[in-house]
Each structure stands twice: as structure tokens, then as C-alpha cells.
A and B are shown apart, each in its own frame.
Chain A
Amino acid sequence: MLHFENVGLRYGMGSEVVRDLSFSVETQSFQFLTGPSGAGKTTLLRLMLLSLKPTRGLIKMFGRDAASLDKDAITALRRRIGVVFQDFRLLDHLTTYENVALPLRVMGRNETSYRAEVVELLRWVGLGERMNALPPVLSGGEKQRAAIARALIVRPELLLADEPTGNVDPGLARRLLRLFVELHKSGTAVVIATHDIALMDQFPDARRLVISGGRLQIFDRDSW
């Protein structure tokens, strides 16, 4: 599904922020991406999302070489990926409902065709009563769930989540993780960037991609 081979990235003439990244994210897999702050987790997620171009190496996304993709093709691929940002990135002037429906709206779909779907998902993540609230009045946990719902609404084949439990209490973090695990069981490949070891320990079967000093080490269940 996603394949990196000797990928490196530098900004300008500086040294490489990430280097020699070689790994694959398989269909229906579940992995944590972890490492100390500033180690390059977010950079790696941005590379996976094709919002950064590597300075070297090969990135293959859904079987296609990312370097050869034009903007329309990248847009088409992004529609198969759900993203949860660390800082939620909800649009403050849109209601929770509109924010969650955004990926469907930008596809040009008619609002009546997805209303029931969005409302159902909002209820499922516990935001049924907050559909008409604007993000500035939502709590951290509610924003987090809205951001997750927005990533899930397109039933993505790959879910990338950057510190999705960083702003919530441990109880909610556990519930959110269960949500990701359920999603994984329903067929989505999941990559969760986190440095919350307690969270990772709750799902010991998951593969761990550890990035440190710009390099990546992979720990499978069998290797530890």
C-alpha cells in the first residue's frame, strides 16, 4: 500500500532531517510511529501524505511512484487516505457537521446524499449533540473526535493520525484507540504517531516504527 525506499529529506542546504527510510505499510496493518519529540514523526507523516517531496529515494503510494504523480493524481490518492492532525485542523467557521462532511463536500457530492452518513458517524463518536457547534466552543476531546470523524468519513484505506490522543485524558485516549483498532479490523491500514508508551502498550500486537535522529527502526511483534 505504502512503500518507502532509502527516502531522505533535507530542507535547503541543511543536513537531512530524515534519512534512509525504508519500510512498507501493508494493507490492513496497524502500526505505531514513535520516537522522541523533534525526531521527524510529523515529517514522516507529511511524506506519507505526499505533502512533502523527498530529496532522495522512492515513495510508492498504492502501487504508484509518487515522483511521477501530477497534482490531480495526488488529490485522487489523498481521497483514499484519512488524516488526523495533532492540532485537529478543524475549520473554525464551519460547524462540527460541516467539518466532518468536508471530505465528501470537496468531492462534489450532494449534501443530501451524505447527510445521514455524517450524522450517524457523529453519533458514533459521541458528537450527536454537538453537530451545530463551532470548533472554538468544543472541548479538546470533542475537537479530537471531530477530527477523527472527518478522517473516517471517506472510509479510508489508510489512516494517518498524528498524536491523536495527545490532548485527551487517558480514559478517552483508550476509547479512541479502541476506535482505531475497530477501524483496523474493518480493513483500514492505520499509522498512529505517538510518544505515549502506555497507549502503545494497550495494543501490543501493533508494529512499532521508531524514528530517532532521522533514522527509522522497525520492531515487529516477533522481534521483541
Chain B
Amino acid sequence: MNAPQPPDRSGDRRQDEEELAVSRLRRDMPLVPASSIAGRALVSVIAIMTFLSCLTAGGAMLVASASQGWRSQISREVTIQIKPDAGREIDAQVEKAAATARAAPGVANVQVFSKQDSERLLEPWLGAGLDLSELPIPRLIVVRMQDRVEPDLSALRSALATQAPGASLDDHRLWLARLDTMADAIVLFALALFLLMISAMMLAIGFATRGAMAGNREIIEVLHFVGAADSYISRQFQGHFLRLGLRGGLLGGAGAALFFLAATALSAWWSNSPGGEEIVALFGAFALGLKGYVAIFAVAVAIGVLTAAMSRIIVFRHLRRLL
């Protein structure tokens, strides 16, 4: 008598294995493998370039806002200078000029520098302890204009000419024009640097995209043969490059933001020293302000988007040449 055979369950087992395989199907693997693109090197290049671009842009913004500050401060202030004249009593001239200035519309405040004040102004150059009474030192009156009122300086100038003939009005226009030119030159130079860096970065992205295309030539060919449209293929690359660009851009932007935060903190610390004062006078307190940080973030995101767009253009151009 034969022993009972165990039922054959190999078919069932195979079916179970297949069911398990179906339940574990991997289905969303990117068609262009991330490892095939020189990602880390590209992210580093983008991050460094973004960092430098943001520094340049931030620096330009600082100079622009500082020059705005100088401009508004200086243009709110004019100086009346009264030169000593043998024929006239200088104190009377000063009084008359001050009175004329006080009477002029739009004047907020008139500060008369006394003889002693004027001598003190010369101390840093001539040294202390000198008797300056014999020197014909001009006298100064600082006139501050009211905010939001356009001062009528030509009326003041002609009033001074009749009331105090020895007085001359200096509205710092020449000095202001030079400052303007310098600030504009710095901003333009920074803009040129910014554009150069963006161009260099785009070239690097171009090289990386071409490298990725060459490395994935077979994949592109297969995708073409199975009926993928060029737009579909370029989307596969574009997605990768958008991620790389955003990562690099945000890293570089975060670095630049940290740099400006540190610079703000350091400049507050420095500002007590004499050198620090000058730096603060030139660049402000290195305080970029919310607008500046938003601009850095916008540059970082724009670089990400630009990276994707650049790679898309290159991929499209490459695919157009293929059949």
C-alpha cells in the first residue's frame, strides 16, 4: 500500500510569491538615475557661486542704501560760510546771515558756530594751544532744513547776498555729486560682477548637463525608441537639475545670509572703535534689513529655477539633434 502523498503545493507557493512580488512592486524610480549626474560637485559650484553672487548683491544694496542715507542727511543740511573781510564786522555779518536763514521758509534749525567752535574745528589739523585769533578764520552757520519740504536755496542765496554780502551758501552739491557717482559706480560694478558670476554658473550647469546627457545616452536612446517625446525626456533631467539648483542656491543663500548676520553683529561690536565708525559711515551698520534677506532668498530660488531652465534648454537642443 502506498503511503499517502502530500498534496502538491508548488503551484500555490509560486502564486503566493507572485502576489507578494506584485504587492512589493517598485514603480516610481526616476528614469534618469540621480547617481548618473555629477550632483555633489554641481551643488558645490552652485552653492559657492550663489554665496558670492548674494554677497555682491547684498554689498551693492548696502552701498545703495548707505548712499541714500548720506544723500538725505546732507541734502537736508546747508552751510553758510562767512569769510573775514577787512571792511566788515564779522560778528554782525554772522548775526545777519543767521537771521536771514531763520527767516527763510523750510528751515528747521540754525546753528551758529562761534569763533571758539570754528577754532576747535581746526584743532585736529593745527594742534591745540595755538593762538588763532590773528588768523582770518571763516565762520560757519549750519542750517538744517525741515523734512519733506523742498528748500528754496536760490531764494536763500539771493537773500544772503543782499543781507550779508560776505556770506556764501554751500549746499554740498559737488560733494553729493561725487558721492553719487562713487555709489553708482560701486553698484554698477557689483551688478557686473553678479552677472559674470551668474554666467559662469550657467556655463558650469551647461557642462554638467552635457555630461549627464553623455552619461545617459543609452537611457535617452531607449526612451526615444519606446516612444518618449523630447519634452518628457527633458522633464526627467529638468527635475534633477531643479533639485540640485535649489539645494545649491539655498545653501549658498543661507551662507550669505549668515555672513551678513555675522557682519551686522561684528559691526555693532566694532562701531566703538575709530576705524569701525568710518566703516559704519560708509556702509551703514551692515544691516541688510528684511528686504535684503528676502532678496537673498529670491536669488537662491531664482538660481534653482534658472538651473532647471538652463538644463532643459540644453537637453532640448541635444535631443533635437537626435532622431
Chain A residues with a Cβ under 8 A of chain B: 49-53, 71-72, 74-76, 78-79, 83, 85, 89, 91, 93-95, 97-98, 101-103, 105-108, 111, 115, 119, 123, 128-129, 131-132, 150, 154
Having A78-B226, A101-B27, A106-B228, one finds 19 other A-B pairs with CB under 8 Å, namely: A51-B225, A71-B319, A75-B227, A75-B230, A78-B227, A79-B227, A89-B222, A94-B31, A97-B25, A97-B27, A102-B223, A103-B227, A106-B223, A106-B232, A108-B232, A111-B27, A115-B27, A129-B21, A131-B21
Question: Which of A72, A94, A97, A150 touches B229 (beta carbons < 8 Å)?
Answer: A72
| A109–B226 CA distance with the chains assembled, in angstroms | 14
CB 8 Å contact bits of B19-36 with A (1 = contact, 0 = none): 001101111110101000
Interface of B is mostly: helix
Chain A residues whose CB sits within 8 angstroms of the CB of B29 once the complex forms: 93-95, 98
Chain A residues whose CB sits within 8 angstroms of the CB of B227 once the complex forms: 75-76, 78-79, 103, 106-107, 154
Chain B residues with a Cβ under 8 A of chain A: 14, 17-18, 21-22, 24-29, 31, 33, 218-219, 221-230, 232, 319-320, 323
Chain B residues whose CB sits within 8 angstroms of the CB of A105 once the complex forms: 31
| A83–B222 CA distance with the chains assembled, in angstroms | 10
Please report the number of residue pairs spanning A and B whose Cβ atoms sit closer than 8 angstroms. 88
Inter-subunit contact A106/B226 (CB<8 Å) = yes
| A102–B27 CA distance with the chains assembled, in angstroms | 10
Question: Can you show 21 pairs from A to B with CB atoms below 8 A apart?
Answer: A51-B323, A52-B323, A71-B319, A78-B224, A83-B225, A83-B226, A89-B221, A89-B225, A93-B33, A97-B27, A98-B26, A98-B29, A102-B31, A106-B223, A106-B226, A106-B229, A123-B18, A128-B14, A128-B18, A128-B21, A129-B21
User: A62 to nearest B CB, angstroms?
Assistant: 14
Inter-subunit contact A97/B18 (CB<8 Å) = no
User: A24 to nearest B CB, angstroms?
Assistant: 22
Chain B residues whose CB sits within 8 angstroms of the CB of A76 once the complex forms: 227
Chain A residues whose CB sits within 8 angstroms of the CB of B21 once the complex forms: 128-129, 131-132
| A115–B28 CA distance with the chains assembled, in angstroms | 12
